Amino acid sequence: MQNNRFFGSLLIISGTTIGAGMLALPLASAGLGFPLAALLMVIIWALMSYTALLMLELHQHAPADATLHTLAKQHLGRSGQLIAGCAMLFLFYALCAAYIAGGAEQLSAKFTFFSDTGIPHWFSALLLTAIVAGLITLGTRSVDMINRGLFSLKIIALIMMLALLMPKVTLPNLIQAPAEQGLIWAALPVVFTSFGFHGSIPSVVKYVGLDIRALKKVLLLGSALPLVIYCLWLGASQGTLGQATLLAHPGLNGLITDLSQQVHTSFMGSIISGFADLALATSFLGVALGLFDFIADMSKKSRPMTALLTFVPPLAFALFYPNGFITALGYAAIALVVLAIFLPVAMVWHQRRCQTDTHGQYRVWGGKPALTCAVLLGVIIIAAQLS
Spatial contact of 169 and 239, defined as CB atoms under 8 Å apart: yes
Spatial contact of 16 and 197, defined as CB atoms under 8 Å apart: yes
- End-to-end, the C-alpha distance of the chain in Å comes to 48
Spatial contact of 25 and 191, defined as CB atoms under 8 Å apart: yes
| Tens-place pLDDT, residues 340-355 | 999 999 999 999 888 7
| Tens-place pLDDT, residues 42-57 | 999 999 999 999 999 9
- CATH number of this structure's domain 2-386: 1.20.1740.10
Is 326 exposed, middle or buried (CB count within 10 Å of its CB: 0-12, 13-18, 19+)? middle
Residue 116 is classified by DSSP as S
Mean pLDDT of 57-64: 88
**SS3 of 324-355:** HHHHHHCCHHHHHHHHHHHHHHHHHHHHHHHC
Mean pLDDT of 159-178: 86
Mean pLDDT of 180-207: 86
Q: Is the pTM of this model over 0.75?
A: yes
Task: Report the percentage of the chain scoring pLDDT > 90.
Answer: 36
Judged by DSSP in three states, 321 sits in coil
Amino acid occupying residue 269: G
